[in-house]
Amino acid sequence: MADKTGIMTPVRQFFSRVPRWVYVLVALGMAVSVPLFEQAGVIETLWLRVGIRSLVYVMLAMGLNVVMGETGLLNLGYVAFFAVGSYTTAILSSPRLGHHYDFWVLIVLSTVFAMAAGLLVGLPTLRLRGDYLAIVTLAFGEITRITFNNWESVTNGPGGIPQIFRPQIFGMNIDKPSEFYYLVLIFVVIVAILLTNLKASRIGRAWNALREDEIAAEHAGIHGTSLKLLSVVISAGVAGLAGCLFAYYQQFINPTYFEFLQSVLVVCMVVLGGMGSIPGVMLGAVLLDGLPEVIRQAFSKWLPEALGAETMNRLPQAVQTFFLEFDRYRMLIVGIVIVVMVIFRPEGLLPDKLWRREVHEEDPREMEKTRQKLFDFDEGHRDLEA
Amino acid sequence: MQSTRIRRILAVLLAVAMLAAMSSLVGCGSSDDSESSDGGEAKTETIKIGIHTSLTGGLADYGFAAQKGIELAQSELDGFEVGNTTYKIELSLKDDKGEPAESPVVAQQLIDEGVVAVIGCLTSGSTNAAQPIYEQAGIPMISGSATRADLVPRTNFFRTCVGDNIQGKALADWCVELGFMKVAIMDDRGDYAVGLADVIEENLTAAGVEVSRESGQEGDTDFSAQVANIQNFGPDAVIFTGYHREAGLLFKQCREAGMTGVQFMGGDGIKSDEIVEEAGGAANVDGTLATIGGIPQDKMAGWDAFKTAFVADAGKDPGPYAETNHDALVAIVDAIKMGESADPADIIENLKKVEVMGVIGTFGFDENGEFKAMGDSAGLATIVRYKLEGGAWVAQ
C-alpha cells in the first residue's frame, strides 16, 4: 500500500474539493455529446449502439442498487423484472399477437407489471435474510425465464418475438440509433434524479439504517418490512422501464436475453462501481458493458492503425492474426480486469462513503476517518477556520 | 471566495480537456479507400465482406467451421474480374458469442467498416436481432446455418441452408405417406427444436393427422412423465425434434414402457451414430427414421475437393455448415459478377436471380430468400431421408 500522505494527496484533495455538480455536468456533457461526435463523423455509429446498451445497463444497475446498495438485500434474480418489462412491450407492440399499443402506455404498463412482479416476490420472501433471500430471488429469476420460454401461445417460446414496432413519440418515429440514444438517455437522467432524491430522503436514510442494523432501525421506529418491500418494488419498476426501452431498441426478444448470468453481470456492475453510490454504479455499468467493445477495437483496429500497415506486415503472421482475431480473447481480458479490481479496490470505483468505511473496517486510518466524520469534528473545525 | 472561483474554472477546463481527450481517443476515424473513378482502363477495387458469426461460447465450433469455409472461398475467388475491374476480397470476422444481445453491436460494427454484404448470422436468434439493422443499412445477409422458419421472408435475408419450414413439412409428409393417423411430437424447449416441431404440427394438422405435443428440457435424463403421456395418447409415431442424446434416452424409455409398434422419427438433430449407444443398443432404436436438410454430402458437386482443401487448411474435417458458408461467399461474388456492381442494393437484387455453382451444387434463392436447388442439382432432393438399420444410418 502506498503512503496515503504521499504525492497523490494534493491531487486527491483537489478532486474532492471540486463541487459535485461539476462532475455531474461533465458526465452529462460527455453523454449528450456522443451522438454529436457521431454526426460529425469523429466516432463510428458502433459507439452509439454500445452507448445505448450501456445506458440500459446503467438503468438496471441503478435499479439493483436500490435493493442491493441502499437496503442491503442481495437479489440474484433481478433480470426477471427486466424480462417482465421487455416481454410486456414485445407482446403488446409486435405483429406476433397483432397488438400495437402506444409508447407511453407501454412505458407505464412495463413499469407497473414489473412492480407488481416485485410485490409478488417481495411479500413472501422479505422475512428471509442474507443467503436465503439470494437463493429465493435466484429461483424466481429462473422461474420467470422458464415461464417465458414455455408460455408459447403468448411469448412464442424459445423462438422469441421478432419485429417489435418502432416507438412513436409525439408523432415522431424513433428509428435511428442517435434518436434511441437520446430517448434512453432522457429516461436514465429522470431515473437518476428520482433515485438521488430518494436516497437523500427519509426513505433512503431508513433503507440505509435497515442495511446497517435492522434491529436497531426497527427500534428507532422504522417499519422494516414495508420499507424493504418498497425498495424491492421501486427497483423492479426501474428494471421494467429499462426492459421496455430495451425491447423497443432491440426489436427482438427471446429468453436467452434473461439468463442468470445477466443478473450476475448487473450485480458485478453494482459491486464494481460502488454499492450504494449512484455515480459509482453508473460508471460500473458503462465500464463493464463497454469494456469488451473497447478492447476489441483497441486490438483489432486502433493498434494496427497506430502501428501502420508496414510495421504490422513486418510482424510474424501469428502475431498479425492474433491482433485481427482478438475478438476471441476480449472476454478473457474483461475477466482479468474484474478480478484485479475486486482485489485492489473492493469498495468499488466511486464508493459510497459509508460503504467504503465498512469495507475497510479493520484499517485504523479508515476508522479514524469514520470517527471524525461521524462527529463532524474535522469538517466543523475547518468551517470555523474559514 | 477567490479560490472557489479558480477551482470552478479549473473544473470546467478539466471537463473540456476530458471531452477533447475522449474524442481523440475514440476518433481514430475510418478511411474509405475504394476507388470509384469511372474510366475505361483496368482498375482494382477492394470489397469488404463481413462474417457475423460466433467464435466464442457454446457454438464456437460451428463458428470455426464457418470461418474456415469462407476463408477457403476467399482464397479461391480473390481477384475475380468483372469487365475491366479486378475485385479483391477482404473479410472482416466478428464474434457475437451466439448471443442476440451482442448481435446489433456486431452488425453496426460491420456496417461502420463499410461491408457490402454479410455472411451470417450463425444462429437464428442473432439473425433476428441483427436483420433489422442490416436492413436499415441496405446490406444483404446470407446465412449458412440460421434455419428458423420465421426468418423468411425478409427483404435482405438469404440462406444457403434448408429452412426448418421445409424440413418440418418433409417430416410431416413422410408421416402422411406412411399412413399415420396419430403422431406425438416432442421438443427440448430449445429454439431449434420448438421451431421445427411447430412446423411439423402445423403441416400434420392441416393433413388431418391428430397431434399431441410434449416437451422435455435439453439435458434431461428421465422422460417418464412424457412417456406416460405419449402412451396414453397411443400414437403411431413419436417425433423428437431435438438432439440425439435426449432422443436416444426418450426412445429407450418408450420401448421400456412397452411401446413396441411405434415408429420413432426425428430431424437432423438425431441423425448421429451415437444415438445407438445412447439408446442402450441398436434394438431400441432400429428402424428409426430421420430427415436431413440440404443436398447429401456424397451428392454435392464439389464435396471431395472442398473436404481435401479444408483438411489441408484447418487440420480437421469440415465441421457442420462449413460448405454452406463457403457457398454463401460464392453466391455474393456471383451476384456481383451478374450485376457488374458491388453496390449492396444491386447485390440484393441480383441474389434473387443468380444461379450459383458451389460446393453444394447448383443453387439459387427463391423469392423469399430460401435456398433452391437449380441446374444439375435441381433433381436432387434437398431433404434426405435416413433409416437406422442394424445400428447404421442408411439413406432411403
Tell me the average pLDDT across A237-259: 94
Residue B20, pLDDT score: 47
Query: Do the Cβ atoms of B301 and B361 come closer than 8 Å?
Result: yes
**A190 part of a folded domain:** yes
Residue A7, pLDDT score: 67
Fold of B165-293: Rossmann fold (3.40.50)
Number of independent structural domains in chain A: 2
Give percent of chain B with pLDDT exceeding 90.
50
Q: Write the ipTM.
A: 0.75
* Domain C-terminal end among A229, A260, A291: A260
- CATH superfamily of this structure's domain B43-162+299-378: Response regulator (3.40.50.2300)
Task: Name the residue of chain A whose CA is nearest to B149's CA.
Answer: A159
Do residue A22 and residue A109 come from a single domain?
no
**Chain B contact present for A22, CB below 8 A:** yes
Query: If we measure between CA atoms, which residue out of B293, B294, B193 comes closest to residue B250?
Result: B193
Tell me the average pLDDT across B304-327: 90
Do residue A95 and residue A164 come from a single domain?
yes
Q: What is the pLDDT of residues B112-153, one digit of tens each?
A: 999 999 998 988 889 989 999 999 999 999 999 898 888 888
Q: Which range, A187-196, A255-264, B366-375, has the best average confidence (pLDDT)?
A: A187-196
**Chain B contact present for A10, CB below 8 A:** no
Which of B223 and A127 is assigned the larger pLDDT?
B223
Contact A293 B105 (CB under 8 A): yes
Do residue A205 and residue A251 come from a single domain?
yes
Do residue A52 and residue A170 come from a single domain?
yes
**Chain A contact present for B27, CB below 8 A:** yes
d(CA A378, CA B276): 78
Of A19, A159, A331, the CB nearest to B195: A159
Q: What is the pLDDT of residues B77-86, one digit of tens each?
A: 999 999 889 9
Do residue A81 and residue A215 come from a single domain?
yes
**A293 part of a folded domain:** no
User: What pTM, to 2 d.p., does this model score?
Assistant: 0.81
Do residue A140 and residue A166 come from a single domain?
yes
**A116 part of a folded domain:** yes
Mean pLDDT of chain A: 85
* Domain C-terminal end among A244, A260, A276: A260
Q: How confident is the model at residue A311 (pLDDT cuts 50, 70, 90)?
A: confident
Contact A152 B194 (CB under 8 A): yes
* Cross-strand partners of B182: B210
**Chain B contact present for A162, CB below 8 A:** yes
Which of A80 and B385 is assigned the larger pLDDT?
A80
Of A18, A257, A301, the CB nearest to B11: A18
Do residue A122 and residue A66 come from a single domain?
yes
Minimal CA separation from A30 to chain B, in Å: 6
Tell me the average pLDDT across A41-51: 88
Mean pLDDT of chain B: 86
Domain that holds residue A30: 1-41
Radius of gyration of chain B, Cα coordinates, nearest whole angstrom: 25
Query: If we measure between CA atoms, which residue out of B37, B214, B137, B87 comes closest to residue A177?
Result: B137
Nearby residues of B86 by Cβ (< 8 Å), 6 or more positions away: B42, B43, B44, B45, B79, B80
Q: How confident is the model at residue A343 (pLDDT cuts 50, 70, 90)?
A: confident
Residue A384, pLDDT score: 44
Q: What is the pLDDT of residues B25-62, one digit of tens each?
A: 443 333 344 444 454 578 899 999 999 998 887 778 88
Nearby residues of B239 by Cβ (< 8 Å), 6 or more positions away: B171, B175, B183, B184, B185, B186, B197, B200, B265, B266
Residue B4, pLDDT score: 55
Q: How confident is the model at residue A187 (pLDDT cuts 50, 70, 90)?
A: very high
Do residue A2 and residue A93 come from a single domain?
no
Minimal CA separation from A209 to chain B, in Å: 34
Instruction: Check whether A148 has a pLDDT greater than 60.
Output: yes
Q: Which residues of B touch A160 (CB under 8 A)?
A: 100, 125, 128, 191
Do residue A153 and residue A192 come from a single domain?
yes
Do residue A86 and residue A162 come from a single domain?
yes
**A297 part of a folded domain:** no
Provide the residue ranges of all domains of chain B, joining segments of one domain with +. 43-162+299-378, 165-293
Residue B244, pLDDT score: 85
Cell of A153: 401461445
d(CA B153, CA B366): 10
Q: What is the pLDDT of residues B333-363, one digit of tens each?
A: 999 999 999 999 999 999 999 999 999 989 9
Cell of B313: 487448411
Assess whether the region B43-162+299-378 and the region B165-293 belong to the same CATH fold: yes
Contact B101 A257 (CB under 8 A): yes
Could you give phi then psi for residue B238, rounded to 5 degrees?
-120, 120
**450485480: which residue's cell?**
A267
